[in-house]
Structures are given as structure tokens and as C-alpha cells.
């Protein structure tokens, strides 16, 4: 395995064979290859197997509450725009418990990378349906099969105005690294939905299943046409992989648009208020 400056020697709590091991290595290699300074990275995550990721990466992190990785990441980025902020978690964490934040974070367009491990099942709570579980998927809780329509995060993100929307499969190492790197470079909110099989609780959507039911968008794919991308994002079986949409025009980020940053660029946390400014409040 390739050594990176993001390696950390610690015990890992995932099941043997979990797709997360592969993703952990690919994430570290991607950041390394971009020459990112580890002390300048923050990973914000919630709860779940995917949300344990920052524990195993040599960076700063805020491992908070289930579903709440995005609001924390947004605030970190607003407070210190010089940091590389990654919000990372699973499909239950980000699309279920944190679904409302998913919607509104896209609308805000903070300069963050959003990595979602999508295994179509709940791992940490041992095998219940997730928002992306396919119809008919049987679990101990949904014993007769899932009866709700799976969430389509890509179509949702494109329709809400996300500037960068991609999907990858951990089994495709080169594509995964390439997509993560592009998401890091993209200014603004960047969604990467990552097919990442759960070997313990999802015996349907396995490594082989994801491989068989997906294909990589060709070099001729034009990711800059929003409507075409939206149509593409509706495709399932096989699911398209790669950057489905990237806005060719740079959208201003939340930080750039915020009135507190209109007057000056100094990161918020560095600013100090003078006694004169306060005294003015008594006039």
C-alpha cells in the first residue's frame, strides 16, 4: 500500500473486507497527490461506519452527531475559508437523518467537499434499510422488502443547483481518486456519492453487483449541460459513474456572498472588534 502523509497508526473498527478500507486508502492518496497540507484539512462527520473515517486519517476532525456533518462543515468553512473542509458520512447519515441539511447545504453552496459512502444499507445499526435501499430489499426490519422509492441524491443535487455532482464506485480505484481530486479542486459545494459495498449487512448490493450494475461515463460525456446531466442522473441499472455535472461557470460560494465577507476577506476567526465600534452601539 502506498504511504501518504495522511497515514496514522491506529486500530480500525470496520469489518474485514469492508469497502471503507479501500476508500480510506484512496482518499489519503488523493489528498497526498494534490499536495494538501494535512494540518490544513478538517473532516466533519456524523455517526455510522462511514463517519468513522476521520478517525483513521491524519488531519483535524470534528466527529459530531448523526446526520449533522454538513452544518458543522459549513460553519467551519465560513469561519476559516483557508481550510479544506470535507464532510463525510454514509447514506443514512447524510441522506436520512441529515436529509434537511443535505437540501439546504446545496442551496447555500459552501466551499466544501461532500463524500457520501452509499452502500444502500445501515451498517452500524446492523442491517436496516437506508434511504438509498432499492425497492424490495429485505432486512430484519423491512422483512417483506423495502416499500419506499430510493432517494436519488444526484438528481436532487443537480436540481437544487449544486455546481459539482459525481458518483463513483470504490472498486474503480482510478476513477474514485480522479473524482475526489476534482471535487477538492472545485470551488463550492461538491457532492461525491460513492458506491461502497457493505460486506456484513447487504448481501444483494455486493462488489460484484455494483460492478455489474454501473458503467463509467465516456470521455465524450459533456458534464456542463445541466438538463442533460439531470436526465443522466435519473438513469439506474446501469448507474452512470463519473462527474455527471459540473457548472462551467464558477458559482460564488457561500463565504464569498456573505455580507460579513463583502467588506473584508480576513477570515472571520482572525477579526477583532474595537472598543470604538462597541461604544458606537451606545449612541
Partner 1 sequence: MERQSYSIVLSGEAGQGLQTIESLVISLLQKSGYHAFIAKELMSRVRGGNNTSEIRISSSRVQAFVDRIDVLIVLSKDGLDRLLDRIDEKTLIIGEKDYIQARKTDARLYPVNVKEQMQKVGSQIYANTFFVGVLSTLFSCEEEIARSLLSDRFSSKGESVVENNLKAFDFGKEAAKKSDYHFSIQRDVSVTKMKAIKGFETIGIGALSGGCNFVASYPMSPSTSVLVYLASHERSHSVLVEQAEDEIAAINMALGAWYAGARAMVTTSGGGFALMTEGISLSGITETPVVVHLAQRPGPGTGLPTRTEQGDLNLALYAGHGDFPRVILAPGTWEDGVLLSHQAFEIADAYQVPVFILTDQYYLDGEGVMEKIDFSKLERTNHVIESDASYKRYKITDSGISERAIPGQGKGYVCVDSDEHTEEGRITESAAVRQAMMDKRMRKLSAYKDIEPRVIGAKHYTTLVVGWGSTYGAIEEAIATLDDDGVAFAFFPQVYPLPSGTREILEKAEHLILVENNASAQFGQLIRRDLGIIFDTTILKYNGSPFSVEQLVERIGEVLA
Question: Where do contacts with partner 1 occur on this chain (CB under 8 A)?
Answer: 10, 13, 38-42, 44, 47, 52, 54-55, 58-65, 68, 70-76, 78-80, 82-83, 100-101, 103-104, 258-264, 268-271, 273, 275, 277-283
3-class secondary structure, 27: helix
Nearer to partner 1, 10 or 222 (CB): 10
Q: How far is the CB of 275 from partner 1 (least distance, A)?
A: 5
Beta strands in the chain (DSSP E): 41-45, 60-63, 84-90, 112-118, 164-169, 190-195, 214-216, 239-246
Q: How far is the CB of 65 from partner 1 (least distance, A)?
A: 5
Nearer to partner 1, 78 or 241 (CB): 78
DSSP state of 55: G
Nearer to partner 1, 62 or 209 (CB): 62
Q: Looking at the chain, how many residues does it have? A: 283
Nearer to partner 1, 66 or 232 (CB): 66
Q: How far is the CB of 35 from partner 1 (least distance, A)?
A: 16
User: Strand pairing partners for 78?
Assistant: none
Q: How far is the CB of 236 from partner 1 (least distance, A)?
A: 28
Q: Which residues of 51-74 are buried (b: 16+ CB within 10 A; e: fewer)?
A: bbbbbbbbbebbbbebbbbbbbbb
Amino acid at each position: 500500500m502506498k504511504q501518504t502523509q495522511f497515514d496514522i497508526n491506529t486500530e480500525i473498527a470496520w469489518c474485514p473486507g469492508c469497502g471503507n478500507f479501500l476508500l480510506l486508502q484512496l482518499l489519503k492518496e488523493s489528498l497526498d497527490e494534490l499536495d494538501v497540507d494535512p494540518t490544513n484539512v478538517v473532516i466533519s462527520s456524523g455517526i455510522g461506519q462511514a463517519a468513522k473515517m476521520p478517525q483513521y486519517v491524519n488531519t483535524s476532525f470534528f466527529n459530531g452527531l448523526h446526520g449533522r456533518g454538513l452544518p458543522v462543515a459549513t460553519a467551519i468553512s465560513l469561519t476559516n475559508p483557508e481550510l479544506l473542509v470535507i464532510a463525510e458520512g454514509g447514506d443514512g447519515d447524510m441522506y436520512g437523518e441529515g436529509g434537511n441539511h443535505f437540501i439546504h447545504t446545496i442551496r447555500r453552496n459552501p466551499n466544501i467537499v461532500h463524500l457520501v459512502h452509499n452502500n444502500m444499507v445501515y451498517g452500524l445499526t446492523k442491517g436496516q434499510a437506508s434511504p438509498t435501499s432499492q425497492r424490495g430489499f429485505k432486512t430484519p426490519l423491512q422483512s417483506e422488502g423495502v416499500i419506499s422509492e430510493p432517494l436519488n441524491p444526484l438528481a436532487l443535487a443537480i436540481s437544487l443547483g449544486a455546481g459539482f455532482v459525481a458518483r463513483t464506485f470504490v472498486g474503480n480505484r482510478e476513477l474514485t481518486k480522479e473524482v475526489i481530486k476534482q471535487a477538492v479542486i472545485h470551488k463550492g459545494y461538491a457532492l461525491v456519492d460513492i458506491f461502497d459495498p457493505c460486506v456484513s449487512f447487504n448481501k444483494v448490493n455486493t462488489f460484484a453487483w455494483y460492478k455489474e450494475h454501473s458503467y463509467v461515463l465516456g470521455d465524450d460525456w459533456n458534464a456542463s449541460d445541466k438538463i442533460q446531466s439531470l436526465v443522466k442522473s435519473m438513469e439506474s441499472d446501469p448507474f452512470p459513474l463519473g462527474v455527471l455535472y459540473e457548472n462551467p461557470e464558477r458559482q460564488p460560494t457561500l463565504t464569498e456572498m456573505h455580507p460579513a465577507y463583502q467588506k473584508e476577506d480576513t477570515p472571520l476567526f482572525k477579526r477583532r472588534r474595537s472598543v470604538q465600534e462597541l461604544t458606537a452601539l451606545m449612541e
